[in-house]
Structure 1
């Protein structure tokens, strides 16, 4: 081996960058966002490599070996034990370019996959053949097969289809010394003998492994507990002759410590044609656990437990899912799923389970056949890992047998950390015991929590004795780390006393590897080290993860330094602390799901971790820590990452713990540019309401200039991308039209309604506001306007110009007050971004003074639904597709829109398109056009282009309508008010 350089980081980075086709990132931003996974731990890597192909993987590993730099393979980074981070290592991120399903063989029921393939992508590839991959962890929309193999992931359906180890046929491996081989199993004696005779390193490896096993048969047989959910330590019992010396199974769950995965062949199982969900309710989680053994002989596909505390956490975080009404009485529920080739077969099995549940007098039961309700209920369970990172008030405070109260669950003694919103952390996340002993184990675990004054919310795979539990460890307090260690050691002893495993599906990592000697005798621990040395004698692959582990209470990200930087916004939900706000992100990575939803549009376009909500939260946390990102509010790394944040607010609603990156971005921009020159777009687009008022004095001249050769230089001067078209300025603003029109007197009994003439509708698309007036007056309302110009201040707020935003909004509040209307007069906003700002952001700026306005502000659809529920609306026969504005999705909701559309008979399809990509000024600014276009091309533009000419395109957002008109080849979108007004006119004719 050649002698390494004295500066391995710089030299290695240089060689990697000049040799690989993929991305090589050794900068502070990339090292920061890859320094965390979903665990409690923080390890800055030396750098990050995103290999373009398998040759890149081979070359990167060879170079790292030459420089004696460790390598950590990584999938989605959702590991809870800390397996996906390593100090001073090169992280290999397999997601970007090595995420393909190479082949599906329906006859053999197998699939060939690359290591970075996302589980849901494999499921989509297998679905046309009536097949699926059995294991289904709750992170299925983003977790990778490589990560699942590394941790031996399980999921809800392991009762029926087993763990990942049960579903792996063969693994293609790259060893640290460059050797490549494929392992599988089970093997016949003759096959084992043949492997010993292979030439070179492969043959030597097989000889070492077989001799290792033969020397230690009795120790392995005696020392490895037989549990359905044992994923702690190395699965050495897979090497036993009676188990066929299954090398693929022995390598599954080794957490990237033995070999790099180049590919895998996995087994598929038939997908049930029909499913029914039986929900059984019990007085508490121990009663539910006690009931499980009697139900398992009926062979349900799942037996998942979920306590009332999880529901309380869900309700504290957001609106109530309607499917919760299907939960029967109780304080803990079992989700018992049945399947069949027909709906009748699945229902018959479900009825058998329901009858068995009813034999327990304290139990209640509901049978859910509707697939939509089933999906909503499962979504609650799948969101558990994120939801319970913030404990609602009272969570875990009830005792055993507490009945059906909403706070039933694991008990604790409360204390300062027990206030509502207390932060809860992994650590003792994943223990598993024999299912028949689960109830007693939970009782003792509850008692242990009480002794340490800790709380937590239990849920998990009751059918296999596996419990997920996040606990409010006081890790940021001086003595909190001692509490953490003491509890972890005693919890490990408790699980082992029940014949259990420290980990039931997430692996050990740094969180539990140090505790393995409490589960296994010393000779087994020695065998783990010997097994690792056979595969990786130089200890280059994820060192410290299982063998010679790092201490469980070292490197805790919560225990690091925090700088108290000045703040301009209140952060009421986080105790006024931005540090606590960004700690909401625990890395469950819903933001890197690129298949659906609003969050996170910039990540969907770029695929860069630092452009995800999770990556940005990590950078902000490091900025507050002050080590890897030392420049505080002046940080260029944070500025760059936030530059592509669209402020869509999708994370505030779609993130399980409601990380609100749009608000954090506003705070950063305010602090970063305070008393400093700003980007020119902050002056052109940020002050657009003022410029539009000036343009309204001479709109014809402005239109002439906008379409003249001078337009290009003016765009460049204003920081606007030259490919963007300046909208046409109407000859008359809405407010001018409204004040000069000859409207008749309103009926004496007409209820007044205040219409908010937002800047963009007023100055650029007055037809929207005029249509709203037409509809509201048709329904008998007395439409009024504020006494003078108003603005919600969004353009200033979103660019961090908070001082100006406050002045603008205060002036607007005075204009509302001067209108002389009763204080309960509803305010109707037409643009969702403006309406959402009035409801959510303005109270942040002005506090109590703005709350009355927020409380009486409604969208157009909300007003019709609430104040004119029985009023006759015109019926129309039309098909429509709807682009929902991000702020409406995140802040306002769309239920009222759907009800109004049903009233007018509209056949509407709401697009799952996420953000349109324009996002106010974002898509106009220089440097953003490509990302803006890529976001729109993901779903929105193809759907709009494919719609028939007769299909109505509905988009209440000005930004959405503008993006469609500029990028969708002449298609025009309508506001709901325009559609209804048009129908009224047609009705009159």
Structure 2
């Protein structure tokens, strides 16, 4: 292709026209899908200029894009996508309180640097950990604190822009307007002064009133929110604001969201920093999908989160409103609630009954004084169309977020969608509001703009765009000459496939599971989240949970990725997935990429030769059973002269030391050392049994001290995890069913099962029921701490003095939770610190595989190993996962121990029972 050839010759950054890359960029976080012609990821401003020049020479549309988290479909297009995320340099001038930023700067990176000077960038959308300043400028993003600090538009000083025709200029306030734009203003003063700037969240259309003389003829502000339809932003100077001296969060409880909305005007009179809403149904959904309990809230069915500067202001508002409330000054507690609020857009995409809900009426805004009335009529409108929606949002600015259970798959459902948004647009207009209060018009609202604006105003939009882009090559189909709202919907027919897993949370439908990812991109996070480990190292979209979900979706769609389960694009993207399950809990919509990867590998390698590691480590339980018969011989082979040959044959990294097989397995030890008391099954996982029986022996001591008799299943058992993680699901299912047969007497008797290896216990909770259909192990399996909390709450653990550093296993974080462990260690007197969220990098077979060693080590060096090395010598390192303990041993001079070993070491014969 001529365009691709030109770009390859003139752009130093990445130029990709392959099916895999194009598939990654078909969607943003909206309901819309378009396949791009190609993707350029510029490394410099010169790259951007070269890319636009090439596009112009070949008459190809340009679609500038940041983090791709837009809800309006304005980050999708059929032309040349410019992914600006590599342009991430910025400087801060604390004296002038400004920052100079490139368009790919991630908001949180800017805010973290500004905080060192007591400053911040005011607009803070819920995607702050991954959204870019360029995307925020394109959409005029707002966030929670626009009540105090305004929208992105209000905080832009200057823009460095490039037109499609190649002109580059810097625009801002109090500069001479080009003659055509001055005439546009002077001929339409009445329209600009009456239809524009009516409310702070009037994001729909173009902000042309900023061209008025009383607003300084500010061309930069007029270009903010134009959604890439006029120019490409190359850089910006933005205003920074002073951080509050004492952030305090007041949480007010109300009967419902309408009652909450009615109080907003009274709260605004106290000049808060923000007024955000939360619905009880979102809290309930989060509680049902996450192993850790949600933060406590005051009584109510809906809440307002009111942030103020100082406790006095918080108590004054609480007294004035007279609602149930709590005042939070602790930053950790505040952050927990803000995380809950920020994840609302993802959580609300699935109703309590499992039905799907979508954007499409996502962020309308009305004057705050009209908010209660608007919500009442919106509820009535939903009822008339037989629709349901969960509301939350920026109530302090009258902006509502809502996900609605539109049926966007069938023709009838799409017709209902169109009728609803048309009537909804008329409702917003009657209340003096804006169709978009935050994310722009894009494909979902632009067609409706004539219901909000007069024909004269619509003509102004067309003239303004034509001034910059006469050929309509900049992000066409948005704002001016728009796509229809029911055009380019992403719900294309997908191939029907039979699957090994049951997908109970998606009605057994793999297609529905592939719709689960809505693109909010929390997985594009470089810190503070377990998911997605490989993205944290590579920064590549295809190594994010969202990227992999996109490729799987496109695999089923079949028009970009055409070879189905045999796809090399999907295989390569999944290759660096650690199967950590972090996305199962951290993703707001609970995408389960570990399961999807196992499913894909199962089909991809069906009746084909597999990678060597699938045989060496996938069948590890069998090899260890054989090795246990002659452990000394096995260890001589694993550590002797033939070890390099074994590693090479097994696809194992030569840098890895192979673990030693225990001279006596845990099951043999326990058989020789029976006890008495109330029976509890102690699950003999492969790793504890053959590698670290000391952890099992310690657990026996602890359980006996608590009055229980740990017993073994009466037969060989295995959770099947190693076969699952390598996609050998037919074998895994057979192994699981055999184990279930062995466990049946215990399950029928209601005897609890305690697991010591988090990954195996997680498999019993999730993989076993979802692969076999037998759910008996879901509620009857516990971690050691979880079991003691449930069955021996009165037991006093031994006193353990000193500090401990805990590495929480990813599977435990995702499916089990660590609250019971934290509580138990606190009761034992341990001063506990957890390693900052992140995978250890070993992740079972992943870190042992030759091609993954470097990524594995890079992950370990992000959080775990630095924390271990920095810990005092007398600080105990706790890691319940065998992989985590192995990574610590092979990457530092420290030894990590299981929680059971910490408690057992403190027990004496006369100790507490």
Q: Deviations over 1:292-314 (max 9, x none)?
A: 22332221112223333333433
Matches within 5 A, 1:576-725: 576-725=508-657
2:36 matches 1:66: no
Aligned pair partner of 1:847 in 757, 773, 776? 773
**Equivalent residue for 2:344?**
384
Q: Distance in 2 between the 1:256 and 1:347 partners?
A: 42
**Equivalent residue for 2:843?**
919
Q: Distance in 2 between the 1:357 and 1:130 partners?
A: 32
Residue 82 of structure 1 aligns to a residue in which SS? coil
* Displacement after TM superposition at 1:711 (Å): 2.1
* Structure 2: tracts of 5 or more residues without a match: none
**Equivalent residue for 2:91?**
103
* Displacement after TM superposition at 1:509 (Å): 0.4
* Displacement after TM superposition at 1:822 (Å): 7.7
2:457 matches 1:524: yes
Q: Does the 8 Å CA contact 2:292/2:818 hold for their aligned counterparts?
A: no
Q: Does the 8 Å CA contact 2:762/2:811 hold for their aligned counterparts?
A: yes
* Displacement after TM superposition at 1:882 (Å): 0.9
**Equivalent residue for 1:299?**
271
2:203 matches 1:231: yes
Q: Deviations over 1:841-861 (max 9, x none)?
A: 11122223xx33332221122
Residue 749 of structure 2 aligns to a residue in which SS? coil
* Displacement after TM superposition at 1:901 (Å): 0.8
Matches within 5 A, 1:757-796: 757-796=684-723
**Equivalent residue for 1:53?**
44
**Range with greater deviation from structure 2 (470-479 or 781-790):** 781-790
**Range with greater deviation from structure 2 (348-357 or 155-164):** 348-357
Aligned pair partner of 1:250 in 186, 202, 222? 222
**Equivalent residue for 1:372?**
332
Q: Distance in 2 between the 1:312 and 1:494 partners?
A: 30
* Displacement after TM superposition at 1:565 (Å): 0.9
Aligned pair partner of 1:29 in 1, 7, 20? 20
**Equivalent residue for 2:801?**
877
Aligned pair partner of 1:891 in 815, 826, 836? 815
Matches within 5 A, 1:939-958: 939-958=863-882
* Displacement after TM superposition at 1:658 (Å): 0.6
**Equivalent residue for 2:791?**
867
Q: Distance in 2 between the 1:458 and 1:721 partners?
A: 51
Aligned pair partner of 1:327 in 298, 301, 313? 298
Q: Does the 8 Å CA contact 1:760/1:958 hold for their aligned counterparts?
A: yes
* Structure 1: tracts of 5 or more residues without a match: 1-9, 197-205, 340-345, 393-419
Residue 735 of structure 1 aligns to a residue in which SS? helix
Residue 338 of structure 1 aligns to a residue in which SS? strand
Residue 777 of structure 2 aligns to a residue in which SS? helix
CA RMSD of aligned residues (A): 2.0
Aligned pair partner of 1:338 in 305, 308, 311? 308
Q: Distance in 1 between the 2:161 and 2:615 partners?
A: 55
* Displacement after TM superposition at 1:657 (Å): 1.0
TM-score, structure 2 normalization: 0.97
**Equivalent residue for 2:447?**
514
Q: Does the 8 Å CA contact 1:388/1:457 hold for their aligned counterparts?
A: yes
Aligned pair partner of 1:167 in 140, 155, 168? 155
**Equivalent residue for 2:102?**
114
Q: Distance in 2 between the 1:466 and 1:758 partners?
A: 52
**Equivalent residue for 1:409?**
none
**Range with greater deviation from structure 2 (809-818 or 936-945):** 809-818
Matches within 5 A, 1:166-315: 166-185=154-173, 187=174, 191-192=175-176, 206-224=178-196, 226-315=198-287
TM-score, structure 1 normalization: 0.89
Residue 907 of structure 2 aligns to a residue in which SS? helix
Q: Does the 8 Å CA contact 2:197/2:209 hold for their aligned counterparts?
A: no
Q: Distance in 2 between the 1:450 and 1:73 partners?
A: 38
* Displacement after TM superposition at 1:984 (Å): 2.8
Q: Distance in 1 between the 2:590 and 2:675 partners?
A: 44
Q: Distance in 2 between the 1:355 and 1:497 partners?
A: 34
Residue 299 of structure 1 aligns to a residue in which SS? coil
Q: Given the superposition, is the C-alpha separation of residues 653 and 320 from structure 1 closer, same or farther in structure 2, using an over 3 Å criterion?
A: closer
Aligned pair partner of 2:397 in 464, 469, 487? 464
Residue 928 of structure 1 aligns to a residue in which SS? helix
* Displacement after TM superposition at 1:897 (Å): 0.6
Matches within 5 A, 1:390-409: 390-392=350-352
* Displacement after TM superposition at 1:986 (Å): 11
**Equivalent residue for 1:856?**
780
Q: Does the 8 Å CA contact 1:513/1:547 hold for their aligned counterparts?
A: yes
Aligned pair partner of 2:752 in 826, 833, 847? 826
**Equivalent residue for 1:452?**
385
Residue 181 of structure 1 aligns to a residue in which SS? strand
Q: Does the 8 Å CA contact 2:527/2:837 hold for their aligned counterparts?
A: no
Q: Given the superposition, is the C-alpha separation of residues 333 and 904 from structure 1 closer, same or farther in structure 2, using an over 3 Å criterion?
A: closer
**Equivalent residue for 1:395?**
none
**Equivalent residue for 2:763?**
837
Residue 776 of structure 2 aligns to a residue in which SS? helix
**Equivalent residue for 1:979?**
902
Q: Given the superposition, is the C-alpha separation of residues 821 and 805 from structure 1 closer, same or farther in structure 2, using an over 3 Å criterion?
A: closer
**Range with greater deviation from structure 2 (694-703 or 312-321):** 312-321
Q: Deviations over 1:92-130 (max 9, x none)?
A: 1122x2123x22222211112221111111111111221
Aligned length: 911
Q: Distance in 2 between the 1:711 and 1:790 partners?
A: 29
Q: Given the superposition, is the C-alpha separation of residues 254 and 823 from structure 1 closer, same or farther in structure 2, using an over 3 Å criterion?
A: same
Q: Deviations over 1:569-612 (max 9, x none)?
A: 11111111011112111111111111111111111121111111
Matches within 5 A, 1:466-485: 466-485=399-418
